[in-house]
Amino acid sequence: MEVYPLENQTNGVDKTEQTIRMIVEMNTRFSLGLFKQLHEESTATNIVICSFSISTALIILKNVDPDFKFNVTSDPLFPENLTVDELTDYYATLLYNLRHADTGDDLFIANSIWFNQQPDIPEKVTNDLKEYFNCEFTKIDFTQKGAADTINSWVRLKTQGRISDVVLAPLMPEMYSMMINALYFNGIWKYEFKETATKPGIFYSSDGRGKEVSMMNQSRGLRYFEDEDYQVVELPYGERGDFIMLIFLPSKQLGINGLLTRLCKGDYQALRSRLTYVNVSLTLPRFGARYQVALNPLLERMGIMSVPFFSSIMYKAVIDVNETSTVAAAVTYINRAKSFNLFVPMKVDRPFFFTIIDKLADLILFMGAINDLEG
């Protein structure tokens, strides 16, 4: 397996970089399409997803089971002209660059395969997954009383205690393997919000109800864009700003569903070139969200894969944002059974959309929508 650090490549020339850019663009389309459907169909108030966790789990699954099929759609998740080995190499490159980003931020990605019988996997595949995907292989008796506790303890460890209890005892006796991807991110704001500037303010939920919450405030030069339909501001993490959060505030008329429609039609890809440094007076609530969902029905409708192959594809995520940092974690688990001088105001006091991005690869790690907050 070959891994190519992106900083050693020439923009627009290197074939490896071009292919990775294509994979990232396809992941962006998948992320936005998946999120749009979840937001339209979900009964949850707030949603957080890490589509990179989902796609990484699928890549590993394809390596360990050649019979697994994805891309059963006209808008595939992965480039169809690549072999499994080539696709794995490119994902290993993405993971390499994520792990080696010199940002001062804490990003940890772990994978595990649990099985009750030794899987028939070529030694080279096993070694590559261990080295490049930080993948652990563990034999376990799913029928034993402590099996669920063992798996939950691994998830709790890899997400720094942010996510636990992804499986409940007793596990299905028909289960013969489980694939888990865990991703943990702890980003320190490059420009922290002063706690003394945090004041009570009103946040208006999607149904128009006002609720008093803690509003963080800062005024400084930030990368920013606005048109008649939405405002966007970029908040960097770490000294270099290799990771960023984008906050999207749609107009009351557009709303989050309308915003997602625009982003899916190409606004998201074009947006990055429109951001320019502007003096921004930003008001942003402290916020947190917890979300979990069974992905089987949605992935099947999207044509990403043929889901009856699995017992379940589950996803769970958390995020907490305050004056100093953002902490986010996600787990995908698959069970198998048989410039201006004036400050531009941006007051985030109504439902908003956000993404957390690896700026070097332009890769979306997390995205979410906050429709309501606890008072």
Greatest alpha-carbon span in the chain: 66
What is the predicted pLDDT for the residue at 98?
80
What is the predicted pLDDT for the residue at 353?
93
SS3 content of the chain, % helix, strand, coil (to 5): 30, 35, 35
Helix or strand holding residue 255 (H, E): helix 255-262
Q: Tokens representing 190?
A: 């490059």
| Phi (first) and psi of residue 332, to 5 degrees | -110, 125
Which residues, listed in sequence order, are joined to residue 136 by a DSSP beta bridge? 112
DSSP E strands in the chain: the ranges are: 47-49, 106-115, 135-139, 175-188, 199-204, 210-226, 230-237, 243-250, 276-285, 287-294, 312-321, 325-337, 344-347, 352-358, 363-370
What is the predicted pLDDT for the residue at 22?
83
Q: pLDDT tens digits for 168-214?
A: 888 887 788 888 999 999 999 999 999 999 999 999 998 889 999 99
What is the predicted pLDDT for the residue at 10?
35
For the chain, residues with pLDDT lower than 50 are: 4-13, 72, 74, 339-341
82-86 contact pairs (CB < 8 A, 24+) = 82/19, 85/1
Nearest to 112 by CA among 87, 89, 138, 131: 138
Distance CA 123, CA 271 (A): 44
Task: Decide: 206 and 46 in contact? Cβ < 8 Å.
Answer: no
The pTM of this model reads 0.88
Task: Decide: 142 and 116 in contact? Cβ < 8 Å.
Answer: yes
Distance CA 370, CA 289 (A): 8
What is the predicted pLDDT for the residue at 30?
85
- Residue boundaries of the structural domains of the chain: 6-188+289-337, 195-284+340-370
| CATH class of residue range 195-284+340-370 | mainly beta
Which residues, listed in sequence order, are joined to residue 138 by a DSSP beta bridge? 114
CATH H superfamily, domain 6-188+289-337: Antithrombin, subunit I, domain 2 (3.30.497.10)
Angle between helices 15-41 and 255-262 (to 10 degrees): 150
What is the predicted pLDDT for the residue at 25?
85
The CA-CA-CA angle for residues 212, 190, 92, to 5°, reads 110
Task: Decide: 105 and 240 in contact? Cβ < 8 Å.
Answer: no
Q: pLDDT tens digits for 129-178?
A: 888 888 999 999 988 889 999 999 999 999 999 998 898 888 887 788 88
What is the predicted pLDDT for the residue at 301?
77
